[in-house]
Every structure is written in structure tokens, then in C-alpha cells.
Amino acid sequence: MRISKTLFKNMIRCDNFPAIYDMYINRAAHNVKNIDGVEVKEVQEDVEKLEGIRFNELDDKALEIFESLFDEMSGEDLTNVTSAQLEAFAETFVEVERLAIIQAKKMFKENIIASTNTYEQKSFSYTENDHTYHCYLDGYSETDNHINIFEVKSTTSKKFDEMIFSIRKTKNFEGAQLPLFMKDEKGVMQFVGEKYIGLEINGKVITKEQIDEKIKVLTDLYSATGKYIYDLAIEKHIVENSMVDNLKPIKYHLVVLNAEYIYDGKKENGTPIYGTSSTGEELFKIYDVSNLIEKVQQEIIEKRNKFEYTLNNLNINYKRFSKCCEYKKTTQCKFFPVCAKRFMKDGSILEYLNKHYAFKDLEDKKILPVYDLMNKGLSTIVDAFPYIDKIDNITQYNCYITGETYIDKDMIRKAITSIKYPIYHLDFESYNSPLPRFKGEKPYSQSLFQYSLHKEIAPGVCDIDKNHTEYLAPDHEDHRLDLVESMIRDIDLSKGGIVMVYNQNFEKTRLKELSVIYPNYKKELDKINDYIYDLYAVLRGQGDLYKALLSKEELDERKDKPSYMYYDNKLHGSFSIKKVLPIFTNLSYKNLEVKNGTEAILTYGMLPKLTEKEYNEKYLALRIYCRQDTWAMVEILKGLRKMVGIK
């Protein structure tokens, strides 16, 4: 088998991946012999290997898996879920790689072999036990004395910069935070954690065990940093097994976007020029992770040997769930829906709120990961009931068992009667490009291109069209100032009122960012921010909304009640506006051309490439989608008023 670096990372997830991958690649001619403890029957010899699947000729257990992998009628690959971000920013990711190598050449002053075409990159491979392991390198340079290897990732340095060693604050000591990465004379970030071993600060000596614990997190395949570092660790394994006679030292570098880089807006022939920022920052940070990836080489060999053994003894067991599944992350295992099919139903254990700390061991009361319960065969809200003790989850359970809705009408009534009119229902849409597009932006800045606003003059007095205003950037030029000025005109708080949003963190953060970029409008933008009212908090109970409305005694009385004020089984453990909307209204996003935020990003991203007819259609679709988001708040608030008896 030919195994790429990416496939290598997936093969070591768990023993199920190699087995399901074998079925995925070989179709009916797969080599899996046992599925969940049941021996798989041989299929008929005339079953075609690659040209389709004859479902009626397959073993029942195998049939269940194939139905999760492929559409029975069309043969469509059901695991091939395209990332909206990858699709929207495909060209930008290529540009990130190109610019990263340019900066590396400048810093290292070496001729780096690189190409945005994978097949023109330097590659390495080696063969062992009938398997060929191969990888392509984003950047490779070799001198008489050394070799440098570069891996470019379109993420930011924030997660690495936040890796620090903290010493707690005490009465007589302010505490200390020691960075685990520091720049060397060349500007390369070096891991310096081990230099702290034995260092005494305020009477406390930093131990090797403490630093090793930090290294363990840094290099964990499933941590925020480790998933990137592990890529280079696998590269090292492949490269150095391909160059067994090499005597030159090899350094491995991770190149990521600098989270602190602020673009100054300079362009040349319409193309952004990412020079050194006014604060002396470069667009990328380069981390030398050579010493870190050395620490996991033995682990990689052991994991390789394990999955090679698994490939020769293929079996599938539906009790192998763990953090390697990466449920609901962008890196979720592509075969998770296959293994977790029985959990993808109404009333699933996965619907419990706060799953990361919801469950406890029956005896020692230690927190249990939800994966542990799944491996016990517990798949429903009912199954997991003995393992919950928090009122939020117990109330969820009761709602599921009785079919009733939990409502704290008094609290919701307090929240709604505190509303001052008019209400400006506000929603933003943004474009989080990896490369900053406009002056004042950082990598992945949520660059606003649209807002929708519905003005509710008095309770229930709002027309979907007549009381609606909006702004949508017509193209990919910088229209943020136009958006800001339009929004300030539309939101008149001179006579009071509130600005209603759903889940306030996004809107409040964007308003703060705009007030920095446009200081002339800071007063107006800050005022809008000060008047934000979170409709999400009315239901979910989070944030400062109820703290401001309740006395200390009333807050104390709520300690034995759920944190939320409303729960219905139809929410399935989520308070997103898409889940809440159908409960209170007949509105739906299903019939809209643009159905969600990711589709909005994709649609906006394609505007410059469309014909005039296509442009007009897509532009209108964006307007309708964003209008739906603010009208949804009008309708949800109307439903809440009715539910608690407020006219």
C-alpha cells in the first residue's frame, strides 16, 4: 500500500480506520473479516471491485457500513464532505504557501526548493513491509553543512504564542509567565522550555516533569498545536528513513501566519504588499520544532508498526471511540459517521449539554469523557442518566422522558419587560480570509461585508420589508467605512432603545475592532456596543443579562435550577438560531439559496468571478439570507412574548 503523510496520520487514529479504509478503497473486494464480533461472509466472486457496489450481495454487517460510505443508487461518496473554508479560500491558501517560502528564503538566505504545485515539490519515500511511505515538502534547502525543511500551515501563531509556563501568583509574588518559544538572532522561534528546568523563581524550582507535561501537550496529535507539529514529526520519520546514509543535520521548521501582524493596506497594482508592519512584525512566524519532533519518533514507529499489524488483521469494533474521533471538529475523522451511526439519532447521548464535563463515574465521581460511555454501549439520553448529576443535564433528561418543555416564565418575562424600544435587530456577515485584505486587519480577521437591520418600533410592530435596512458590499474592495457610516445612520439611539443580536460575542467583538480601525467613529460604535442586548442569553441564560436584572437573593435562589431558561427536545442540545427558529415560527432556511453562514462566505467569495446575471442572482440571495437572520429574531421574540403572556 502507498501511504501518504495524511493517510499515515489517519491510520494511527484507531484500529477501525485501516479496516474501514480498506472497505472504502476496495469496495466489495475488501479484506475485513470481522465486524463488531461477527465474522463477515465472503461475497460472490463476480462482485465488481471498483465499478460499484452490489448491496444485495453483501454481508449484513458490511452492508450497514457501505450504506454509510456510499449512496446505494448513485455510488456517491458520502464521506467526502468539503470544508467550506477550504473551498472559499482555496486560492488564498496557495498564496499563503508562496509568501511563506519567500519569507523563509529572506530569513535563511538559502535557495529553497518549493512549488505551489505539490508534484513539483521535493519528495521522499521509503518502503518497508510491502508499504511505501511518502511525503512532499513545502520547502527544502540543502547546503554543504545542513538541511532545512519547511512545512507551511495556514493557521496562526496564536496557539503557539499562548503556550507558556505559568507560576502562580501569591500574596508576596505577582506570578510569572515564561514563554516556551523565543526568537533567536535570525528571528526563528526556538523551543526554550527545557532551559527553565532547575530555574528557581520565588522559592519554587521548575522541574523536568513540569516541562515534560508541557511538551506532551505541545506534541499531542490531537491538541491545538500537536496536530501541526505531528505533521513534521511524520515528515521526519519518512525523510530520515529515505536518507539513511545522510550525515548532515536536518532542521524542521513550521511556518504559520503571525497572529500579531497588522496589514498597513499597501498595494502594488492592486495586489497587497505584506511588508514589515509598523510594530516590526512579519507576516509569518517560523518555529524550529526539530527538538520537539525528535521526542515523538519512537512513538511514531510504534504506531506505524501497530497499524501495519492491523492492516494484516482487519476487524471493526464499534467500541473504539476516543479523542481521536475529534467529534464536531474540522479535523473530525471522515469515518466517524460510520462508527457512530447509532448515535446520529434523536435522543442521542451526544445531545447532552456540556459533554466535556457532564458525565461522572458512578463510584469515584471522576469526570468521564463521553467517548467512555459510548464505548460502554450507552447511546441515548436515557442510557447515560445514571452518569449525570448536574441540573442542566437532569432537566434535559426529564424533558426527553416526559416530552414536556422546560420554561422559566418568570425569568424570561423579567428579561423581555426590561427591553427598551425601539429594537434594532442586527446581524453581521464576515469574510475571514487567511491573508488580511484591508488596512488594520490581521490574518483571519472577520472582515465585515454585510449587515441586516430590522427596526421593531413597539412590541410586534415591525414589517419584514418596510422596517428593514441593510448594507452589502458590492465587490471585494474595501467598503468597511461605507458599512460603518450606513450602520450608524440606521441605528439611532438618541432616544433610547436597544440593539438586539443573537449570541453577542461576535457582534461586540466586530464593533470593537471597527472602533480601532475607524477612531473617528469610536464614540458612535462604542455606543452601539453598549446598547447590545443578547436574545440568545434570554434562552440560554449565559452572560450578564440576568445578573443585571436579579438581586443577589434571586440569583442565590436559582442555584438549584438549570442555567438555561428554556429547553425543548427539538433543540437537540443546541441553542443555535437555526434550532430555535422552528420552535417559535414557521420560518425556514431550507428554501433559501444561501442557507447558512458558510454558504454566505462562499457566495460572497465568488462575486468577482460571476457574470452580470449570476452576480445579480447571488447578490440578491445574500441579501435575502441576511434579512432572514434579523427577521428570525423578530419572530422568536414575538413567540417568547406570547409564551410568557406579554402582549
Counting other chains too, the contacts that 467-473 makes at CB distance below 8 Å and 24 or more residues apart are 468/627, 468/630, 468/631, 470/623, 470/626, 470/627, 472/619, 472/622, 472/623, 472/626, 473/449, 473/604
Report which secondary-structure segment, H or E, holds 360: strand 359-360
CB within 8 A of 123, min separation 6: which ones? Answer: 134, 135, 136, 137
Tally of residues, the chain: 647
Who has greater pLDDT, 608 or 63? 608
Residue appearing with cell numbers 461522572:
360
Residue appearing with cell numbers 487567511:
434
Q: If we measure between CA atoms, which residue out of 337, 339, 343 comes closest to residue 380? A: 343
Q: DSSP 3-state assignment of 618?
A: helix
Contact 287, 188 (CB under 8 A): yes
Output b/e per residue, 566-600; b: 16+ Cβ within 10 A. Answer: bbbbebebebebeebbebbeeeebeeeebbebebb
Q: What is the DSSP letter of 71?
A: -
**Model pLDDT for residues 414-436, shown as the tens digit of each residue:** 999 999 999 999 999 999 999 99
Q: If we measure between CA atoms, which residue out of 619, 573, 628 comes closest to residue 595? A: 628
Cell digits for 208? Answer: 523536568
Residue appearing with cell numbers 449570541:
503
Q: What is the pLDDT of residue 203?
A: 83
Q: What are phi and psi of 28, to 5 degrees?
A: -70, -15
DSSP characters for 528-591? Answer: HHHTEEEHHHHHH--SSHHHHHS-HHHHHHGGGS-SSSEE-GGGTT---HHHHHHHH-S--STT
Q: What is the pLDDT of residue 82?
A: 67
94 residue type, one letter: V
pTM for this predicted structure: 0.92
Please return the burial class of 180, using the count of CB atoms within 10 Å of its CB with bins 0-12, 13-18 and 19+. Answer: buried
Q: DSSP 3-state assignment of 48?
A: coil
Q: Sign of the C-alpha dihedral, residues 183, 189, 193, 194?
A: negative
- Given a cut of 70, whether residue 388 has pLDDT beyond it is yes
Residue appearing with cell numbers 492491523:
310
Question: How far lies 647's CA from each of 87, 151, 372, 463, in Å?
Answer: 46, 61, 48, 17
- Given a cut of 90, whether residue 79 has pLDDT beyond it is no
**Model pLDDT for residues 319-346, shown as the tens digit of each residue:** 999 999 999 998 999 999 999 999 999 9
Q: What is the pLDDT of residue 84?
A: 66
Q: What is the pLDDT of residue 45?
A: 46
Beta bridge partners of 284: 257
Average of pLDDT values for 132-144? Answer: 97
Of 43-52, 76-85, 100-109, the range with the lowest mean pLDDT is: 43-52
Contact 196, 206 (CB under 8 A): yes
Contact 457, 467 (CB under 8 A): yes
* Other Cβ atoms within 10 Å of 441 Cβ, number: 22
Contact 512, 497 (CB under 8 A): no
Average of pLDDT values for 381-402? Answer: 97
Report which secondary-structure segment, H or E, holds 34: strand 34-35
Who has greater pLDDT, 168 or 643? 643
Omega before residue 249 within 30° of 0, cis: no
Mean pLDDT of the chain: 92
Contact 228, 254 (CB under 8 A): yes
Q: What is the pLDDT of residue 77?
A: 84
**Model pLDDT for residues 52-65, shown as the tens digit of each residue:** 444 444 567 788 88
Q: If we measure between CA atoms, which residue out of 141, 181, 152 comes closest to residue 165? A: 181
Contact 151, 20 (CB under 8 A): no
Instruction: Measure the CA–CA gap between 336 and 323, rounded to whole angstroms.
Output: 11
Strand blocks (E) in 73-199: 122-128, 131-137, 139-142, 147-156, 164-167, 176-179, 181-183, 189-191
Instruction: Measure the CA–CA gap between 62 and 73, rounded to whole angstroms.
Output: 17
Contact 187, 282 (CB under 8 A): yes
**Model pLDDT for residues 83-126, shown as the tens digit of each residue:** 666 778 889 999 999 999 999 999 999 999 999 999 999 999 99
**Model pLDDT for residues 554-607, shown as the tens digit of each residue:** 888 888 999 999 999 999 999 999 999 999 988 888 888 999 888 899 999 999
Residue appearing with cell numbers 442555567:
563
Q: Sign of the C-alpha dihedral, residues 372, 374, 376, 380?
A: positive
Q: What is the pLDDT of residue 69?
A: 87
Q: What are phi and psi of 544, to 5 degrees?
A: -100, 5
Q: What is the pLDDT of residue 50?
A: 39
Sorting pLDDT into bands at 50, 70 and 90, what band is 227?
A: very high
Q: What is the pLDDT of residue 57?
A: 47
Contact 533, 500 (CB under 8 A): yes
**Model pLDDT for residues 472-526, shown as the tens digit of each residue:** 999 999 999 999 999 999 999 999 999 999 999 999 999 999 999 999 999 999 9
Q: What is the pLDDT of residue 93?
A: 94
Of 189-198, 308-317, 583-592, the range with the lowest mean pLDDT is: 583-592
Report which secondary-structure segment, H or E, holds 643: helix 612-643
Instruction: Measure the CA–CA gap between 405 and 622, rounded to whole angstroms.
Output: 34
